[in-house]
A and B are shown apart, each in its own frame.
Chain A
Amino acid sequence: EAQVTQNPRYLITVTGKKLTVTCSQNMNHEYMSWYRQDPGLGLRQIYYSMNVEVTDKGDVPEGYKVSRKEKRNFPLILESPSPNQTSLYFCASNFRLGADTQYFGPGTRLTVL
């Protein structure tokens, strides 16, 4: 089954404690991205990757890091989380958009105390 998986689905942490949210897709997609969803703001792109070792900032990259060492995985790293990073996070992947659609993971709800 084609899917994007994220782990963990729920996470409560404290300010400053480094964390990683994993994302994996089994569709051999080149493009992967991370979004955060906040009430009244919709989803905003944090980072994206066009292929292995190719990553770039989205609209709200501050406080986040990513890596793309393998095509299937695209982890999101919060080196020093702060309360304003409390949000719902979605990973997504796709081939070139004109020929396909973007597939979203189930989401990770992060709370930073």
Chain B
Amino acid sequence: AQSVTQPDIHITVSEGASLELRCNYSYGATPYLFWYVQSPGQGLQLLLKYFSGDTLVQGIKGFEAEFKRSQSSFNLRKPSVHWSDAAEYFCAVSTDSWGKLQFGAGTQVVVTP
């Protein structure tokens, strides 16, 4: 069955430390890949996306993600976390060119001083 897995439900990181959020998918073909962020009480904001081409994708707010076909992964990274990065992060994939997104369960990121 098709699925998107975010193995970490909750991550705590110190301000200034690096952050990596994991995302694995199970699909027959290479899907379109996305990372969204949801700040408390807010809607969803697109951080970055991968459709094709360079497997290292740069996004907003200093985030990047790397697509690894062999591992069916699309992990999100940030070299130095800021307190404002505390939020819930969702990985999403789509295998159709229209728009149905399959979301992971989300990873809650807490940033400590």
Contact = CB atoms under 8 A, between A and B. Distances in A.
- Sorting the interface of chain B by its residue count into under 10, 10 to 19, 20 to 34 or 35 or more gives 20 to 34
A43 B88 CA distance: 12
Contact of B32 (A42, A43, A44, A98): A98
Contacts, number: 60
Interface stretch (A17-25, A72-80, A99-107): A99-107
Interface in B4-59: 4, 9, 32, 34, 36, 42-44, 46, 49, 51
B94 A97 contact: yes
Q: Among the interface residues B4, B44, B103, B105, which one has the most CB atoms of the partner chain A within 10 A?
A: B44
B100 A94 contact: no
Interface of A: 31, 33, 35, 40-45, 48, 50, 58, 90, 92, 94, 96-98, 101-102, 104-107
A83 B90 CA distance: 25
A41 B90 CA distance: 11
Main secondary structure of the interface of A (DSSP, over half): strand
Contacts of A104: 36, 43-44
13 contacts: A33-B99, A40-B105, A40-B106, A41-B105, A42-B4, A42-B103, A42-B104, A42-B106, A48-B100, A97-B98, A101-B46, A101-B49, A107-B43
Interface in B48-74: 49, 51
Nearest to B34: A101
A43 B90 contact: yes
Given A41-B105, A50-B98, A98 B51 contact: yes
